[in-house]
Amino acid sequence: MAVHKALELALSLWPNARDRGSVDDPATLDTLLESFGQPGALGYECGSRKTFAAFDPDEDAELTLPAGERSSSDADARFIAHVLITRTLLAAGLHVDPRVLEAMGAAYAFSWTATGGKYRQTPLALATSLWLLALDPLRISDRPLPIDWEPGCFNDPERWDLDYRLFSHYDISENAVDWAVYASGAPERREGASIYSVVEPLLRMNEDGRVRIALSAYANAQDSGAESAPAVAMLERGRIAALLQGQVGLNSQA
């Protein structure tokens, strides 16, 4: 079933999509798209049909990211999995597909649109979702996002402003960059997330002066969880560390 394959496939396709902007066999992307709006997806139980499913509804969802971090709860895993599938589709060139755009909007609805900066997602989830901004060609556009606010998920007035439902790509980018800068200030603000999971998407947004400041802070910060990460995760962190040091070096020469 596509739901069971979606997360594994998204992670396997990701390196080529990330680095080349394409995948070897575009038909494999259909398997990811088939998990759109399926039971077990983020928010499915409260009416959302604009998210990708990577787990069955009744299983205890959990996942491990390439840099070694683990999800902290069922809800955390389902949110992150949705983002991982969405980012692969965006990176592979499907940013014009309405389903992918709706999935991106849904990810933002469950995170960056919450009022007062209380996004109610873990630092790991927020760090992973920075990729959606990094891959969004309309990141600095004032074009409204296609967010479906109809599901009951979004009727909590303590989390969302029910009278304010119009968010642009730029609005979300501002919220996300503000968080990334905030998280660079102290390790506890990014607990559970490797600095490299925060950094890599930021490297694609370094036209923003605040991002460059944050990157410099991350370059001088101590990573978390390095003492218990397996070798494959440390190799992933090392790959990103090299990118970070190269970018910070270029910024210092500018």
- Amino acid letter at 66? P
Share of the chain above pLDDT 90, in %: 90
200-214 pLDDT, tens per residue?
A: 999 999 999 999 999
Task: Tell me the C-alpha to C-alpha distance, in Å, between residue 49 and each of 36, 46, 103, 148, 252.
Answer: 7, 9, 9, 9, 46
243-254 pLDDT, tens per residue?
A: 999 988 666 555
38-63 pLDDT, tens per residue?
A: 999 999 999 999 999 999 999 999 99
Q: For residues 16 and 88, give the distance between their C-alpha atoms in angstroms, rounded to a whole number.
A: 9
pLDDT above 80: residue 78? yes
Q: For residues 122 and 101, give the distance between their C-alpha atoms in angstroms, rounded to a whole number.
A: 23
pLDDT of residue 92: 98
pLDDT of residue 1: 45
Q: For residues 200 and 251, give the distance between their C-alpha atoms in angstroms, rounded to a whole number.
A: 15
Q: Which residues contact 214 (CB under 8 A, 6 or more apart)?
A: 177, 180, 181, 184, 202
Q: For residues 7 and 132, give the distance between their C-alpha atoms in angstroms, rounded to a whole number.
A: 16
* 22-31, 138-147, 169-178, 217-226, range with the lowest pLDDT: 217-226
Kindly state the tokens that stand for 152: 């009951």
* 175-179, 201-205, 222-226, range with the lowest pLDDT: 222-226
**Do 127 and 69 contact (CB within 8 A), yes or no?**
no
Three-class SS of 66-121: CCCCECCCHHHHHHHHHHHHHHHHHHCCCCCCHHHHHHHHHHHHCCCCCHHHCCCC
Q: For residues 9 and 92, give the distance between their C-alpha atoms in angstroms, rounded to a whole number.
A: 13
Find, among 102, 86, 90, 96, the residue nearest to 48 by Cα.
Answer: 102
Q: Write the DSSP symbol of residue 36.
A: B
pLDDT of residue 222: 86
Domain range annotation of the chain: 2-192
Q: For residues 147 and 249, give the distance between their C-alpha atoms in angstroms, rounded to a whole number.
A: 39
Average pLDDT, the chain: 94
Average pLDDT (125-146) is 96
pTM exceeding the 0.85 threshold for the entire prediction: yes
Give the model's confidence band at 2: pLDDT under 50 very low, under 70 low, under 90 confident, else very high. low
